[in-house]
Amino acid sequence: MKTLNTFYIGGQWVEPSAGGTQTDIVNPATETLTGHLAMGTAQDADRAVAAARSAFPAWSESSRAERVALLERIVECYRARLDDIAEAVRIEIGAPITLCRHLQAAIGLSQLEAALETLRHFEFETHHEKSYVRREAVGVAALITPWNWPLNQIAAKVAPAIAAGCTVVLKPSEIAPLDAVIFAEIMHAAGTPPGVFNMIFGEGRVVGARLSSHADVDMVSITGSTRAGVEVAVSAALTVKRVAQELGGKSPLLILDDADLQQAVTSGVMQCMVNSGQTCVAPTRMLVPRERYDNAIAIAAEVANGIVVGDPADPATRMGPISNRAQYEKVQHMIRTGIEEGARVIAGGPGKPEGFAQGFYARPTVFADVSNGMKIAREEIFGPVLVMIPYDGEEHAIAIANDTEYGLAGYIATSNPDRARRVAARLRVGSVRINGAMLDITVPFGGYKTSGNGREYGREGLAEFLECKSVTG
């Protein structure tokens, strides 16, 4: 049983202010209590912001060499804690241990290394005849991160922020606190100057609201639901601070008529189901040529039914539980909604897999006979649920793909590279992956429409934390 009752502020572990509450840390695989977490107050947010504001003048004037040296130390300290991080993520969100080791923990390290490499080559000053442009740290950055890929989002925000010369206040998800505490320990062990990195826990409506409205916070970067992103933007508007948002998605996979159907459908199902479907960028709408639809349905059902659901501690497990009770209940509600709407379940369905009495386990579920107007095709479910939609011709497929309030990502399967480029250009999304390509963290990531604004990763991700100053004469 763990009790997490301190916050990291000003280079020290400090006790929360009076008046805070506690929340339970629950293992989603067993539904058992594994610890307690102290939840902060607005006063705690004020203390963390004050520490970051105090540290900003010196850190914003630090040299590239100093920032590179710090990030190098952070990378080494993180690498030494990889096993601890993987185990923490397994316990807190129920991700399979193999996924935790190879992706959940490892991608945080990759984000740190990528930010370090970007910093080494970033141009902070450019010259234009009699003028020059300086790129300077925006100030104190509040970073709000989710529970589904916790280390990826923490590292993808913290690393470029401090590389830019910002000081930060991190508010991780209370659902995934164990890995965040380890990350704070890494930052301390690496010798991060006091106040450059601060971390507190708390509810969005309390701590998140205070950070986003705080006059001494210059920027908020949030990854979360579209609802949460809107709330942060509204709260931040009164102080006219910068807001970067990476929000929800309902990403389409366009399987074109020249694609290898077996490969495309298999890849699409597996990409949808990874991390129990709790990935904002997952291809949750599979668009298939009508003449190949029946074959695609048969392939998808076979693949989904073959996914091994089990104990996250078992290396053979490919899908663990949903990460918390509220999300499990939402997923079950959406599966029932799909059935009520007239969609046909070809794999999975409501309830837990056979043999699971405890744990927030859901069945890998695939719906056929779906129209793009159904609720299950329009709302982000954030669980292991795939919908399959038939289309008539390339133009129809593109129209369906773009007929959504979201615009985070798109996927294309085709054997023709020129066709892939042409279709990619017409998708109203922030990123496109072709033929099962993996995420590339060296290029910008972010969304169109209600999937957010701003970009993470690469040069553009670092630039989000910078202001431009023109000097002439």
List, by residue number, the catalytic residues: 246, 280
Q: Helix crossing, 150-164 with 106-121: angle to 10°?
A: 20
**Category of 436 on φ-ψ map: left (φ > 0), alpha (ψ -120 to 50) or beta:** left
Beta strands in 311-401 (DSSP E): 344-347, 365-368, 385-391
386, 391, 394, 398 alpha-carbon torsion, rounded to 10°: -50
Look up residue 187 and give its two tokens: 């930052």
Q: Residue 445: beta bridge partners?
A: 456
User: In angstroms, what CA-CA distances link 384 with 109, 188, 297, 356?
Assistant: 26, 37, 16, 16
What is the distance between the alpha carbons of residues 472 and 323, in angstroms, rounded to a whole number?
54
Token readout for 183 is 């990350």
Report the DSSP beta bridge partners of residue 36.
Answer: 3, 24
The residue type of 83 is D
Enumerate the β-bridge partners of residue 251: 283
Answer for the pair 412, 256: CB distance below 8 angstroms, yes or no. yes
The token pair at 268 is 């699409």
DSSP state of 292: G
The sign of the dihedral angle between the CA atoms of 259, 263, 269, 274 is negative
Spatial contact of 195 and 10, defined as CB atoms under 8 Å apart = yes
C-beta separation of 466 from 138 below 8 A: yes
Phi and psi at residue 73, to the nearest 5°: -70, -40
What Rg do the C-alpha atoms of the chain give, in angstroms?
A: 22
For residue 68, give the amino acid letter.
V
Nearest to 263 by CA among 414, 373, 375: 414
Q: Report the C-alpha gap between 112 and 432 in whole angstroms.
A: 23
What the block records as the tokens of 289 is: 């040529």
